[in-house]
Amino acid sequence: MKKAALILDVPVAIPCLSESRLERMDLNVVLRIARHLREDADLGITRLAIVCRMKHTTCKNYLNCMETLGWITHDRCIRLTPEGYRILK
């Protein structure tokens, strides 16, 4: 039992190819971003970084990966796609 608990405490990460380099995304951070976007769809990068308690560049990297995966659209405001809403379920 303790070994299983230790395994579950390890952050789950998925690989994402962004601008010719391999980055790792923490799914807990992705879910935090998605939850904030579900609550307020009219957020820009700076405001989203503030409410998610992240650095601007870190938030931007996560958003680039999420856009590559088709989970968000990014015009002036960032919005979840139907695929993005599915990751919240």
Whether residue 10 is contained in a domain is answered as no
What is the predicted pLDDT for the residue at 22? 43
pLDDT-derived band of residue 23, with 50, 70 and 90 as boundaries? low
Whether residue 53 is contained in a domain is answered as yes
Q: Is 28 helix (H, G, I), strand (E, B) or coil?
A: helix
Residue 55 CA, chain-centre distance (Å), reads 13
Whether residue 21 is contained in a domain is answered as no
CA angle 30, 32, 35 (to 5 degrees): 110
Whether residue 59 is contained in a domain is answered as yes
The domain in which residue 39 lies consists of: 26-87
Whether residue 13 is contained in a domain is answered as no
Report which DSSP code applies to 12. P
What's this model's pTM, rounded to 2 decimal places? Answer: 0.73
Whether residue 73 is contained in a domain is answered as yes
Number of domains into which the chain is organized: 1
Higher pLDDT, 24 or 26: 26
| pLDDT at residue 20 tops 50 | no
Residues 78, 48: contact at Cβ < 8 Å? yes
| pLDDT at residue 16 tops 70 | no
Whether residue 75 is contained in a domain is answered as yes
Q: What is the CATH number of the domain that holds 36?
A: 1.10.10.10
Count the Cβ atoms, other than its own, within 10 Å of residue 71: 22
What is the predicted pLDDT for the residue at 59? 93
pLDDT digits (tens, 9 = 90+) for 25-72: 788 999 999 999 999 878 899 999 999 999 999 999 899 888 988 999
